[in-house]
């Protein structure tokens, strides 16, 4: 195994590529539905066909989220979830799953509060594989990027339909693991996909990076996941899962609906 492929994200994408399969990236908010239900939900995501897990780190002011994921953050905060708790949950997840990549997706302030270096150390120690910090664009990401890189952790960046070629080029130099393409102008869970725009933008991004390209925002089911993965390397699904967790009567019901949703998307991607 090459040095580069020690990281679970790199390993996972290498295997998917070898198998000719598309990646299914699933997002839930840590602590949503109760702190004790998060690790069982993560295992369920994997069992139902998720290749990578994005674990949302709850924040009081999740500026880029639509109403569904905002509510997920609010519910998680009521259960006293925090960045520290997220790291503990990943550690617990790792006791039974040594392979599935876990990415912490959140906002800059909880990391700033913990201290970027302490965060990078704790993330590496807990078995986290990468971070996606929504409000840390390339201009401000340098210090955290370096700290993560030194610990063989990946730093996932967002690219959008409005990102210029020059910016794609400079972001591609910082990005690692994979690139998260935001398919539409808007917040999470919004709007409808424009397949033509996804196709042309992914082709544009492909000129600047060899990294896997995963598409998120606006992916609601197997059909939309399949549509975007035709042009990219994978699909990210979040709001539908967070919505199901929010509506579930209890932890068992949440697990069941998440299993059904992820299973359906997996089947569509593998068809």
Q: Would you count residue 173 as binding other proteins (CB under 8 A)?
A: no
Whose structure tokens read 């972001």? 171
Q: Would you count residue 47 as binding other proteins (CB under 8 A)?
A: no
Q: How far apart are CA 135 and CA 113, in angstroms?
A: 15
Q: Would you count residue 182 as binding other proteins (CB under 8 A)?
A: yes
In whole angstroms, the minimum distance from the beta carbon of 185 to other proteins comes to 6
Contact 114, 90 (CB under 8 A): no
How many C-alpha atoms does 71 have within 13 Å on its Cβ side? Answer: 14
Q: 79 in helix, strand or coil?
A: coil
Q: Is there a catalytic annotation at residue 65? A: yes
Q: Would you count residue 82 as binding other proteins (CB under 8 A)?
A: yes
In whole angstroms, the minimum distance from the beta carbon of 49 to other proteins comes to 28
Spot the catalytic one: 54, 88, 169, 247: 54
Q: How far apart are CA 219 and CA 238, in angstroms?
A: 8
Give the binding range for other proteins (CB under 8 A) out of 24-32, 77-85, 120-128, 245-253: 77-85
2 burial (CB, 10 Å; 0-12 / 13-18 / 19+) is exposed
In whole angstroms, the minimum distance from the beta carbon of 161 to other proteins comes to 8
In whole angstroms, the minimum distance from the beta carbon of 107 to other proteins comes to 8
**Nearer residue to other proteins within complex by CB, 5 or 170:** 170
Restricting to residues 96-135, which ones interact with other proteins according to CB under 8 A?
A: 107-114, 134-135
Contact 216, 235 (CB under 8 A): yes
Q: Is there a catalytic annotation at residue 54? A: yes
Compute, in degrees rounded to 10, the torsion defined by CA atoms 4, 14, 94, 29.
110
Q: Where in the sequence numbering do the catalytic residues fall?
A: 54, 65
Q: For binding to other proteins (CB under 8 A), which residues are involved?
A: 59-67, 70, 74, 77, 82-84, 107-114, 134-137, 139-140, 157-160, 162-164, 167, 171, 182, 185-187, 190-191
């Amino acid at each position: 195994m090459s040095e580069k492929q020690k990281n679970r994200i790199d390993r996972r994408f290498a295997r998917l590529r070898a198998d000719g399969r598309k990646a299914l990236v699933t997002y839930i908010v840590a602590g949503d539905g109760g702190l004790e239900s998060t690790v069982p939900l993560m295992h369920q995501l994997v069992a139902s066909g998720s290749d990578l897990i994005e674990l949302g780190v709850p924040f009081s002011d999740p500026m880029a989220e639509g109403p569904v994921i905002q509510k997920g953050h609010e519910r998680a905060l009521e259960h006293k979830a925090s960045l520290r708790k997220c790291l503990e949950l990943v550690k617990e997840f790792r006791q039974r799953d040594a392979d599935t990549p876990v990415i912490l997706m959140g906002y800059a302030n909880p990391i700033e509060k913990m201290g970027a270096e302490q965060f990078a150390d704790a993330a590496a120690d807990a078995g986290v594989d990468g971070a996606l910090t929504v409000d840390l664009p390339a201009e401000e990401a340098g210090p955290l990027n370096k700290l993560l890189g030194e610990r063989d952790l990946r730093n996932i960046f967002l690219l959008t339909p409005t990102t210029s070629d020059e910016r794609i080029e400079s972001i591609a130099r910082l990005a690692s693991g994979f690139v998260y393409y935001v398919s539409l102008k808007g917040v999470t869970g919004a709007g409808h996909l424009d397949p033509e725009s996804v196709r042309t933008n992914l082709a544009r991004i492909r000129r600047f990076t060899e990294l896997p390209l995963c598409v998120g925002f606006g992916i609601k089911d197997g059909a939309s996941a399949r549509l975007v993965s035709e042009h990219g390397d994978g699909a990210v699904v979040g709001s539908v899962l967070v919505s199901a967790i929010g509506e579930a009567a209890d932890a068992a019901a949440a697990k069941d609906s998440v299993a059904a949703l992820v299973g359906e998307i997996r089947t569509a991607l593998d068809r």
